[in-house]
Amino acid sequence: MSEESPAPGHVTQASGQDASGTAQPSQLPQHVVKRTRMGGLWFASGSFAVVLLLLLIFILENGKSVDVAYFGAHGHVPLGVALLLAAVLGILMVVVPGTARIVQLRLTARRHRRADAGQLAASRQHPNPDPTGDTPAPDPR
């Protein structure tokens, strides 16, 4: 069997030409819209609104008053508020030490950058004439 020739107007994939030999664009370039800060803000505010709505529903459904005692302080608060307060305090127990660690690492990185910049500046002021780093031994006299 012989190979059949493509129908008129058919674009071949390998050459991007139709049967008559005229060049056809193989594919138009795709335009990609990059993410922006405003788009991120829009998404974050929408997500925040949904979370607040869910929290409001949680508090309204758990309105039964409960007794809370903490280091000698006693009070009556709705169950939803007590649970929400406990969750927020638990989050703060993680966030505060985490923030302290991040600050500590940034300060250490800043000290290292300054030390490296000082060494680089010193090496530029006093370049080593011998690129191998070998210096002759001092005369033992």
Q: Does some domain include residue 16?
A: no
Domain that holds residue 100: 37-124
- The least confident of 16-25, 70-79, 86-95, 121-130 is 16-25
Q: Does some domain include residue 56?
A: yes
Are 11 and 18 spatial neighbours (Cβ–Cβ below 8 Å)? yes
- Averaged confidence pLDDT in the chain: 81
Q: What is the pLDDT of residue 122?
A: 86
Q: Does some domain include residue 11?
A: no
40: amino acid identity, one letter: G
Q: Does some domain include residue 22?
A: no
**What pTM was computed for the model?**
0.49
Stretch 113-127: mean pLDDT: 86
Query: Could you identify the residue written with the tokens 């927020």?
Result: 88
Q: Does some domain include residue 60?
A: yes
Q: What is the pLDDT of residue 53?
A: 92
More confident position, 141 or 125:
125
As a whole number of angstroms, the distance between CA 50 and CA 117 comes to 48
Q: What is the pLDDT of residue 45?
A: 92
Q: Does some domain include residue 58?
A: yes
Stretch 63-84: mean pLDDT: 90
Residue 109 confidence (pLDDT) above 90? yes
Count of domains in the chain?
1
- The least confident of 3-7, 59-63, 79-83, 89-93 is 3-7
Q: Does some domain include residue 83?
A: yes
Listed residue (25, 93, 85) closest to 58, CA to CA? 85
Q: Does some domain include residue 57?
A: yes
Give phi and psi for 68, each to the nearest 5. Answer: -125, 130
Residue 95 confidence (pLDDT) above 80? yes
